[in-house]
Amino acid sequence: MERISCEVLVLGAGPGGYVAAIRAAQLGLDTVILEKSRAGGTCLNVGCVPSKALIHAADEYYAAFGAKDGNSIGIRVENPSLDWSKTLNWKDGVVSGLNRGVEGLLKKSGARMIAGAGRMVDGKNCMVETDDGDMRIAAKNVILAPGSTPIELPGLPFGGAVISSTEILSLESIPGKLAVVGGGYIGLELGIAFAKLGSEVMIIEATGQLLPQYDQALSVPVAKRLEDLGAAVHLNSRARGLAENGAKLEIETEGEGTSQISVDKVLVTVGRKPNLQDWGLEELQLDMSGDCILVDETCRTSMTGVYAIGDVTGEPMLAHRAMAQAEVAVEVIAGKRRVFDPVSVPAICFTDPEIVSVGLLPEQAKRKGDDIVVANFPLSVNSRAITLESRTGFVRIVARKDNGMVLGIQAVGKQVSELSASFSLALEMGACLEDIARTIHAHPTQSEALPEAAMIALGRGLHI
């Protein structure tokens, strides 16, 4: 058995893991990173990136199909069609290219990547199964980054017609009838995409609102878009299981009893859970918070020299949070003074229209006891939005009434995901309404809606 040692061992090469390994190597730490699959983790290989690729393909096809009889800006497309196998090949090419890029970055940094399944023996040692045989790694410090997995429903175990967000990205054909169980951001992103690709989509949501993590002002435009696309929405409903050899999905709706809907595929998107299996958690003495590994502000666990980052530490399970945690953990190992204490972690829903939320929603600010001012600027009067044929949505700012400190910024509309950086920066820098209102934003851009909202909050709106 081969035996090696290192200063930092990273378990998992997802967004958090590979960033941790690169940063550790940059700091001169002898670093090994383990990955049993492909570098990039769920996000790059079977999550964020491929889903956004298919969302883009769906948008392009839907636009072409909508122009078959000529559209309002003079474009006409004769006999639009979709070669699904070519679409999948393009999506896979995007993923493969980025995958090679991550591997190249790891190699360039000097971190050693080992392909194999790692299992912790204790807080300092890991056994690895590789194609070339077993290996034992001894490490001074360990960073756990095993990621998360889709949650499975008891009555709808994955397999056959029941699929997760992983399998839907590689279907051999577009399902005629697609039921989406769960009206959160993953379900609606994929549901809208497949509605544009031609599927008859049905959304089953247990609560009384789609996208329950947002307020209705943000979710209603998405619900309206689903209606325009012909998707059926069942609120206050729960999927109970398949009937008639998998051809029908039984749902129970509050106050209405049970019913059945015909399906070809059932996409279950009710959330994700930390991956606690098959890497040796039971061999470690880690404090837990429910099914998440408990960490402090430096990403330390309850064991000396053992750190945890990313989805395994709980919500929000977002790649950019994992990346930020990775830098903190590694720099602490290197002896630097760092803590993970962001003002906010931006959340984006890549639906149609898109949603961005940074910081506190209005109701969250009120619950904290803040006396607040809330101002919206509609994108229907923003020149750039109009040239994008988008008159839906708004930019909203939430601030303290006494000193104008910005507590939250949200937006819903076409391509508003690209505004997330300026929203986050404003909060992280402690901006007040006057700071934003007096910052020159380029014209014509949708970003102009941010200072306009700030000016409305200050009582001096210009373009409304």
Cite the active site residues. Answer: 443
40: which residues sit within 8 A by CB, 6+ positions away?
13, 14, 15, 18, 49, 95, 98, 99, 102
Residue 277 · residue 190 · CB < 8 Å: no
**Using CA atoms, how far apart are residues 307 and 373, in angstroms rounded to an integer?**
40
Instruction: Kindly report each contact of residues 277-281 with a partner whose C-beta sits within 8 Å and lies 24 or more positions away, as own/partner.
Output: 278/117, 278/119, 279/11, 279/117, 279/118, 279/119, 279/120, 279/144, 279/146, 280/118, 280/119, 280/120, 280/121, 280/126, 281/120
The full DSSP string for 225-248 is HHHHTT-EEE-SEEEEEEETTTTE
Cα 285 to Cα 55, 120, 145, 280, 295, distances in angstroms: 42, 11, 17, 11, 13
Q: Is 396 helix (H, G, I), strand (E, B) or coil?
A: strand
Residue identified by tokens 């200072």 is: 451
- When computed from its CA atoms, the radius of gyration of the chain, rounded to whole angstroms, is 24
Residue identified by tokens 């837990």 is: 288
